[in-house]
Structure 1
């Protein structure tokens, strides 16, 4: 398959069931699975990933996404290292300032400087090097021969630059429009330049919102709220609107979703992700590859706060039957 495709799986079922479902993602042909790190769910993502790693053979598995506020960098490094012992070469770590996990813990999001320090420290610890966090020198024993890569989740320009400067890779939520991708890459390259890295040295994974269903229902998503007071197009970040503006679609942050016309909603869906039948979604991905060199994506099934923990069974089935085979042609 020329395009690697990962998918988000929420902690919406008991852990043994999640491990079985993740195995079905492997059987469907996905490259990787990211599981949300939501402590308030009562289910720990790293326990899920350990079970899933033991139940699968080739999937790349990672949290989507951890943060350095509710988990200390040394703890994150040790956990990722442990997953790498269970599944050598299949573990990955993704980090962000935190959204629901820190909100539910009553904590503020990580500052960018704090996140940058954590990313650098974790990469050093996984490589067997000493690291510094909050002025304290840290070391970690028993590192693996192939340390997990550390990715930063980035939706805005400053986070893209942070990823370019400090991380092994970036999971970027910027849409699929070629002008949006080009604008986002400018910031990624700026970070790479600050660190003296070659352009393109940071790996890219594009977070792609999905609604794999009829056009009629899929194109209603931009006209919804994620939860009261937060529009779907501003979830998880209002930076989504910045990349839509780069694509020529100017939607104000305080917009009323119901006021978005069906015609504008269709344009938004075309620029923002995969919103339509499976055949269309496959062709849209291939076009993004041709237009912008998109080689690796992360399916982020569209949801509201109420449906956030539903397993993406329809997406897995559509990928297995139609999207995956079309990408492999």
Structure 2
């Protein structure tokens, strides 16, 4: 079904379609389904590529194929932050959406895992497109933007898989007492909490200096002018492609769009 849908859209927009897949996390955990395993991710990409190429594929003992599979194939990207998932992206995907922040040292850690996977499969890692996921919260006041990002920053500290990237960025917060039980009660989870003010209150323990470090490491968080400066630094560090993941779960990110239109793009000469 997924391969057929991807192929249909690629026929409507030849050469313009990218197909992104991820493990699930929030989207599946809220209905009691665990995230996909690394093995399932690999099998999914390999199967999709076979179907899109018109090859025979076995499903539970039955053989199937897509009649209209051909050479005009949509590229498949894997969204990843764990080292094993990044390596699988290097092995089988056409590109990767790295959810490791934008700090150059963090990105380098992820690149090494991507290279390991690519070389394991006999591929050239330079052939893989890398997109960085940048958490984006833009407000007129710098501290207000950072305060809005508190729960997102604390979530990074709570997830062990992010530790190597935070360590590479020079962020150490091992002595902090995180109220995990209270945070786990937020619905549906921390980054998508319906009661964002409550989430911020529970994350008030995070010192302002560590909050500032985390905000700079995970994305574009601050005033429009500050975020334009952060983008210039990212570009100088070789970052070429960002995916902007705003902090808004239940509203359209009008502020961020306006900031890019009115301030950031003009500041970067991208009008």
TM-score of the superposed pair, with normalisation by structure 1 = 0.68
Two-structure CA RMSD over aligned residues (Å):
2.3
Superposed displacement of residue 316, structure 1? 1.3
State whether structure 2 residue 186 is matched by structure 1 residue 240: no
Is the Cα–Cα contact under 8 Å of residues 137 and 149 in structure 2 kept in the other structure? no
1:267 equivalenced with 2:189 (yes/no): no
SS at match of 2:6: helix
For 2:40, the equivalent position in structure 1 comes to: 114
Please say which structure displays the higher CA radius of gyration. 2
Q: Cα offset for 1:177?
A: 1.1
Which residue does 1:220 correspond to in 2? 147
Q: Partners of 1:205 and 1:273 in 2: how far apart?
A: 13
Please list the CA deviations of residues 101-160 of structure 1 after superposition, one character each: whole Å capped at 9, or x if unmatched.
Answer: 322343222221111001111122223333345665431122365321110000111111
**Aligned counterparts, 1:198-213, within 5 A:** 198-213=124-139
What 5-or-longer segments of structure 2 have no aligned partner? 180-202
1:233 CA drift (Å): 2.8
Are 2:142 and 2:222, in contact at CA under 8 Å, matched by a contact in 1?
yes
- Alpha carbons of 1:254 and 1:84: their partners in 2 closer, same or farther (altered >3 Å)? farther
Give the deviation of 1:255 after TM superposition.
Answer: 2.9
Aligned length: 245
Instruction: Name 1:316's counterpart in structure 2.
Output: 257
2:90/2:125 contact within 8 Å kept: no
Give the secondary structure class of the aligned counterpart of 2:29: helix
Report how far residue 287 of structure 1 moved: 1.1
Unaligned ranges ≥5, structure 1 = 1-74
Taking the aligned partners of 2:177 and 2:111, their CA distance within structure 1 comes to 27
SS at match of 1:220: helix
The counterpart of 2:17, out of the listed 86, 91, 101, is 91
Counterpart of 1:251? 173
Q: Is 1:301 the equivalent of 2:246?
A: yes
Structure-2 separation of matches of 1:134 and 1:245: 44
Structure 1 Cα separation of the partners of residues 102 and 45 of structure 2? 26
Instruction: Tell me the TM-score normalized by structure 2.
Output: 0.82
Asked if the contact 2:58/2:64 (under 8 Å) is kept, the reply is yes
Residue of structure 2 aligned with 1:176, choices 99, 102, 118 = 102
Distance 1:133 1:238, change over 3 A: farther
